[in-house]
Structure 1
Amino acid sequence: MKKLSIITTCFIVLLYLGGCKEDLGISKPLVNDGAAPGLVSGVSVTNRPGTAKIVYQIPGDNDLSYIKAEYEIRPGVFREVKSSKTNDSLIVDGFGQAKEYQVKLYAVDNGENKSDPVIVTVNPTLPPVITILNSLNLISDFGGVGVVTNNPTGAEVAVVMVEKVANGSDKTLNTFYTRSKNEVFNIRGYKPEPVVFGAYVRDKFGNVSDMIYKEVTPIEEVRLDRFLFSAPLFPNDMKSFDEGSWGVAKIWDNSTWSGFHSIYDDPTILFPQWVSINLGVKAQLSRFKLFQRTADESFIFSHFNIRTFEIWGSNNPSPDGNWDNWVFMGRFESIKPSGLPVGQNTAEDRAKANDGEDYTMPIGSPAVSYIRIKALSNWSGGGFLQIMEAQFWGNLQ
């Protein structure tokens, strides 16, 4: 019994005081030996846009914890990057110019003792804020200006748009945040009169490009007259189950209570499904708006409302409806603001469905007199197609 008591006492000491010498895998406080680790060695540098990759050999100290880089990206602005002892490289970033920068590399041990610095010179190439600005294009757009960006590295940047006003100062219009390699932004709401727009680029490190200016004359934009629309009803267009109440013409009757509703009792009919509209004029489309069926809460971003689709255009469609004289003009998707599963709607979801969903046509789309809405899917995942209302804007030719 006395032997058992001794073992029990030792076990308790092991748990709470870490005694009895036997290692039970319990973490022990780190010991600071006060000695700095060795230096990194064998350093090489690969320079990249606004960044540099530094490869090195780590010192052989048993208590090494990590490698740290310290450097200045702008006067008085310093950055620090750490890399685990299991890595043989790190990335230094945030540079706003293509020039030489000094980087100090330290080896740091478990006691936070750090080695003397190893000075490394890096020469990052042109950073994204400069390359994006150099390729940025301001072009005439419907009701304003189009901002065409090229961001080959996919850097996180902000494109800030301004207008040069009468007193010569800059009025900030909007800030567009992006990491897309190619993107087009739009500033609208202007008359077709010359306007001097400006733009500059900034990144998450606080680097800011120069400003560029360009005088742009916005293109006049009008809403197309729905009273000129008609339904050509080509042989291969999707038919309605009731042309009188749910035919193609209901798409532009200025009511979201009824709309187009395709045949739903034929199991052989699959997507894609399309309908054609004669606009009654030749126009370069700038944007359009589609409305869902919202008569019941359960229909919103659900049911058979259109989800992914394409717009095609023509000026001389074949009477048999074939696609020979049709031109692809863009692919679009209905986006639910909340991102919630089908059947779960927020107030924002309901508002967007009721207000209609806005889509922008690609800049430079051809002027056409006929369009086709080619549905690729609906919100239910199959079955028939519904489009309650459509509105179109553009420049008449």
Structure 2
Amino acid sequence: MKRIVKYGFTVLGFFTILSIVGCAEDGNHEPLEGGSTPPGEVSNISIENLSGKARLTYTAPADENLLYIVAEYTLENGREMEVKSSYYTNSMLLEGFAGLKEIDVDVYAVNRSEVKSKPVTITVKPEKAAIYDIKESLTAQTDFGGLRIRAQNPDTEDIAILVMQKNEQGDFEPLPNSIYTSASEVDQALRGFDTVSQEFAIAVRDRWLNVTDTLFTTIKPLYEKLMPRSQFVGVNLPNDAEVICCYPVSNLFDGVTLEYWGSYFTSRTIDTEDHLVTWDIGETTKLSRLHIWNFSEPIGGQRLYYYLGAMKHFRIWGANELNDGDLSGWTLLGEYEVVKPSGLPYAQENNDDLVAARDGADYEIPLDAPAVRYLRIQCLENWAGGEFMAVSEVQVFGNPNF
């Protein structure tokens, strides 16, 4: 389109311009580019069928007004889909298929006036969507306070594992604590259930609302309780880290989760191989989990949870007899890595980080771990890159009568 600019014009020309502007303001929104002639058709389309997807490569028509290529299709579940690809590329990925049958796809070229070419209809036959293999790998087992779900998701697809129970009408409906994840290995406990046999129904759904068939299982959750902190006692073994004055081991279980005066800190200045803290939980107990609040540093009017001595990488050890502190006499109950949800640089946190950390987090003990009476936390790395630790509170859950 040729554009002519003149610096001098007549009164008639002035009012002509006003008239044009007025039309624009009246809502006559038409494409800026003229051209009602449809572009040529897309050609040389090849199809690569993938798991729940199909990749198309093609030759776009030679048209200087071409804007994009669009594919339109309807999924097996009835959802209508539209995928657009810029004229700069020669491929597109069609997603959302269950992979259970052949699907017709209409492919169009579209010009700058939003005029479509004649459709080119192709047929794709994607392989089964990932949710079906995930469902085949899925297991549900009894666990403390509920059930444990395990599954393999090697392609890290965004999925929902819908855990369902019957409502008052007798229909299965998803529980609020169903699992939403893209982790390659799912290993998650759902807790808060009574310790009586109960029926669960489990299915896997993807973000296009494709759903697998349902696994039905009966689970009797194991009994767990919050171990009373009144029976906890701090222990000082020879290789335990030196604490900062006025912040003793007993602060780990004093019920205070935010204040400096109720937190536990090891010295930043000591040179030791590991920062360890030890305490007695009062009786030999089959542990299910520790719930830990890392200390949140108040900085600039906000609290930073992934900062300074807050633990990033740590271990939990257990024993039934005390020794001189040599870890060879202790059983490793678990090793844990804390992940910052936002992925922001150090000292920068957003609301996702706050929500994930403010109420503490569960660190689960394997079901096959032995019952223990004494616990140790070993900080391997904090968020500042050192080993000193800053912990606000620890709760211990388990079953002394297992």
Fold match by TM threshold 0.5: yes
Q: Deviation string for 1:156-186 (max 9, x for gaps)?
A: 2222221246975325422432222223343
Residue 219 of structure 1 aligns with which residue?
A: 222
Q: Does 1:373 align with 2:383?
A: no
Aligned to 2:203: 200
Displacement of 1:240 = 2.3
- Distance change >3 Å, CA 272–CA 57, structure 1 → 2: farther
Name the amino acid aligned to 2:335.
G
Of the structure 1 ranges 129-138 and 313-322, higher mean CA displacement relative to structure 2 is found in: 313-322
User: In structure 2, what is the equivalent of residue 151 of structure 1?
Assistant: 153
Query: CA-to-partner distance for each residue in 1:77-135, whole Å, 9 max, x for gaps?
Result: 32111111111111111112332111121222223333322222211111133233222
For 2:396, the equivalent position in structure 1 comes to 392
Higher mean displacement: 102-111 or 380-389: 380-389
Count of matched residue positions in the alignment of Structure 1 and Structure 2? 370
**SS of equivalent residue, structure 1 residue 246:** coil
Q: What residue is the counterpart of 2:27 in the other structure?
A: none
Number of the residue aligned with 2:175:
173
Normalised to the residue count of structure 2, the TM-score between the two structures is: 0.76
**In the alignment, structure 1 residue 252 sits paired with structure 2 residue 256:** no
Taking a change above 3 Å as real, the CA distance of residues 83 and 328 of structure 1, as seen in their structure-2 partners, is same
> Distance between the aligned counterparts of 1:142 and 1:275, measured in 2?
26
Q: How far apart, CA to CA, are the structure 1 residues paired with 2:316 and 2:389?
A: 17
Q: Give the secondary structure class of the aligned counterpart of 2:134.
A: helix
Matching of residue 333 in structure 1 with residue 335 in structure 2: no
Q: How does 1:114-193 map to 2 (within 5 A)?
A: 114-164=116-166, 168-174=170-176, 175-193=178-196
Q: Among the aligned pairs, what percent are the same residue?
A: 26
CA distance 1:280–1:112, change in 2 (3 Å): same
Q: 1:229-273: per-residue Cα shift (whole Å, max 9, x none)?
A: 44443322202244xx53324433556654533235x3x537852
Contact 1:311 1:330 in 2 (8 A): yes
Q: How does 1:213-362 map to 2 (within 5 A)?
A: 213-226=216-229, 229-242=232-245, 245-253=246-254, 257-264=261-268, 266=269, 268-269=270-271, 273-291=275-293, 300-301=303-304, 306-315=310-319, 319-324=323-328, 325-327=330-332, 329-333=334-338, 357-361=360-364
Q: Counterpart of 2:86 in structure 1: which amino acid?
A: S
Provide Cα deviations, 1:12-34, integer angstroms capped at 9, x if missing partner: 99xx98xxxxxxxxxx9412142
Q: 1:330 to 1:62 in 2, by over 3 A?
A: same
Structure 1 residue 316: deviation in Å? 6.9
Contact kept in structure 2, 1:292 and 1:300, CA below 8 Å? no
Gap regions ≥5 residues in structure 2: 18-30
Higher mean displacement: 203-212 or 64-73: 203-212
CA contact (8 A) 2:140 2:149 kept: yes
Taking structure 1 as the reference length, the TM-score comes to 0.77
- Over 3 Å counting, the alpha-carbon distance change for 1:334 and 1:65 in structure 2 is closer
Is the contact made by 1:300 and 1:345 (CA closer than 8 Å) also made in structure 2? no
